[in-house]
Structure 1
Amino acid sequence: MSWHMGRLTGFDLETTGVDVEEDRVVTACVVHCGGGEDTQSQTWLADPGVEIPEGAAKVHGITTERARAEGAPAAEVISEIVAALAQAAEAGQPLVIMNAAYDLTLLDREARRHGITPLVELVGDQLLVLDPRVLDKQIDKFRRGGRKLEDLCHTYRVALDGAHSADADALAACRVAWRIAHLKPAIGKASLADLQPMQAGWAREQAESLADYFRRTPGKESWADDVRTDWPFIPHQQTGA
């Protein structure tokens, strides 16, 4: 059976910012869908222990005051997220994560920050990831326009109710991955094990292309230095953190 006909586990974070080494989890969702079963989801609201910048709050709607009043302790939230994802991975379910290198790296650093065994150390090679962003860029390299989740939902005619809320984004990412697999049999019929090195290679090529674009664009040359080619996450030992 093709992987997209089975159970998928979507994962999404909303955070205090975009620095995977320093920023913190604010909200998260793990959703299980497909495979002829009911959709089930678990969501979290954390008190990240730091101020939530106004810009981030405008994106996901969670202020520092609300996180402190309603959020669970960050360590508790991170532990539960890692456990939920590990359970899915050990059951053989792929984790569908839009821009996986961001979410998985930030989660890894949060786990280490709170003394929690990181996901990759718990599950090792059982970690199977599907990244709609990488898949889309590979199958439609020259399409003009944005490549954010909202853009992909429009392209693949997927409903997105409540963009930038973790639960809506996690489910939408699964739906986009399903549509890509349905439209492109070469991806839909590939084994999950084969798709891991394939996506890693595509992600590296995409990052190298972006870095090359920055180098050729006046005023953006220095941006190329910050482009990482790692996928599906940035290994901890490479950061010096």
Structure 2
Amino acid sequence: MDLTGAHWADTLAVFDLETTGIDVDTCRIVTAHVGVLGASGEVLERREWLVDPGVEIPTAASLIHGVTTERARAEGQSAPAAVVEIITALTDAAARGLPIVAYNAAYDLTILDREAGRYGLAPLPVPGAVIDPLVIDKAVDRYRRGKRTLSATAEHYGVTLEDAHDAGADAVAAGRVAQAIARAHPELATIAVAELHARQVDWCREQAESYQAWRRANGDAEFTTSGAWPVR
């Protein structure tokens, strides 16, 4: 895999999960998307999964992504088989030299790691070229007010997201946001992707330290958060 070439935004792999919850150590995959975008954000490849997570999908989660326990059981692929296929798809993308884009990558990649461990599967080798638009946007536009959700960040960069919390729509939007950030900050586009990956490791740690300090200074003296990235 060539991690030294510039213009990483020209062709990107994109990845997103929808799950049963927010705790990366306990929640399960419900839907997934792995795709490839071209330089103009066009979808070149796409693969999607509907997964039976093997547990009840909480109503709160179903209301977000639209998949009920009943549908997942009736139509979903077994979780171990789906996890193998998702890992294989991402491994293939990395082997082809494609950076893997995921918005809040530490969430999706950590869940995938925990799911592999849950089923005794070989985990995804930690990619050396992950692009996380959330981490990068916070680094290059640190003082912008407002939310940093995918929907809010997509709107800020002029990227259309019509079906938020659909794994495919979110993955494609994340890739297009990454490309929009590269256009807005062209110096980023010329950084070798391995170097940009390394910078995100540092940025995420610094962002977590700053947030932890803010929470503690505002009454939550015991608050802790991890800045590990891209897998916690």
Q: Same fold (TM over 0.5)?
A: yes
Aligned partner of 1:41 among 39, 46, 62: 46
Judging changes above 3 Å, is the alpha-carbon distance between structure 1 residues 163 and 38 closer, same or farther for their aligned structure 2 residues?
closer
Aligned partner of 1:9 among 6, 9, 13: 13
Counterpart for residue 221 of structure 1: 221
Counterpart for residue 237 of structure 1: none
* CA distance in structure 2 between the aligned counterparts of 1:20 and 1:132, rounded to whole angstroms: 20
Of all paired residues, the percent bearing the same amino acid is: 47
* CA distance in structure 1 between the aligned counterparts of 2:192 and 2:12, rounded to whole angstroms: 14
- The alignment status of 1:96 with 2:114, answered yes or no, reads no
Instruction: Report the CA distance between 1:217 and its aligned residue.
Output: 1.2
Q: Which has the higher contact order (CA 8 A, sep 6+)?
A: 2
Paired residue type of 1:8: L
* CA distance in structure 1 between the aligned counterparts of 2:120 and 2:193, rounded to whole angstroms: 30
* CA distance in structure 1 between the aligned counterparts of 2:212 and 2:43, rounded to whole angstroms: 42
Using the size of structure 2 for normalisation, the TM-score is 0.94
Counterpart for residue 208 of structure 1: 209
* CA distance in structure 1 between the aligned counterparts of 2:193 and 2:131, rounded to whole angstroms: 8
- The alignment status of 1:27 with 2:31, answered yes or no, reads yes
Instruction: Report the CA distance between 1:39 and its aligned residue.
Output: 2.1
* CA distance in structure 2 between the aligned counterparts of 1:197 and 1:153, rounded to whole angstroms: 24
Counterpart for residue 3 of structure 2: none
Judging changes above 3 Å, is the alpha-carbon distance between structure 1 residues 67 and 38 closer, same or farther for their aligned structure 2 residues?
closer
* CA distance in structure 1 between the aligned counterparts of 2:218 and 2:34, rounded to whole angstroms: 38
* CA distance in structure 1 between the aligned counterparts of 2:81 and 2:123, rounded to whole angstroms: 14
Counterpart for residue 148 of structure 1: 149
Paired residue type of 2:60: G
5 Å matches for 1:1-241? 2-5=7-10, 7-35=11-39, 39-120=44-125, 124=126, 126-218=127-219, 220-222=220-222, 224-225=223-224, 227-234=225-232
Instruction: Report the CA distance between 1:186 and its aligned residue.
Output: 1.9
* CA distance in structure 2 between the aligned counterparts of 1:221 and 1:159, rounded to whole angstroms: 39
1:108-167 deviation line (CA, Å, top 9, x unaligned)? 0101111211002xxx5x531000000100011011100000010110000102000000
